[in-house]
Amino acid sequence: MILKRKPLSMAEAKEYMDKDSGTDIIGFVKKFIILKPGKAKELREKIEALDLLKVREEHISKIIDIMPETSEELNKIFNDMSLDEDETKKLLETIKEFK
């Protein structure tokens, strides 16, 4: 049963997968996870604490999945809008804390 619709990163979604989900699905997700679920939640909280108006939940999920290192990589996530230099700098500094 779906209780809430919220975009999750793959690391966060892995917490909700049980052993009955199938080893193929869990194995696939594990290949692409960069952060552990706890660290992913911590990064989400830090990004949300920046209180940037342009950054939505789905953007945060993609940031956690991709962990961009440059402004060009970050801007690919925000293809529907552009971040200013200050917003980009804040996000990249926050991401670097988790590398």
Domain range summary for the chain, segments of one domain joined by +: 10-96
State the pTM of this model. Answer: 0.87
Token pair belonging to 97: 């804390």
The sign one gets for the Cα dihedral 19, 26, 17, 15 is positive
pLDDT in 10s for each residue of the chain, 99 residues: 678 888 999 998 888 777 666 678 888 888 889 999 899 999 999 999 999 999 999 999 999 999 999 999 999 999 888 899 999 999 999 999 998
HSE on the CB side for 88, CA within 13 Å? 16
pLDDT value at residue 4: 82
Distance CA 14, CA 90 (A): 27
Sign for the CA dihedral angle at 61, 79, 31, 93 comes to: negative
The reported pLDDT for the residue numbered 27 is 83
Query: SS3 of 91, please?
Result: helix
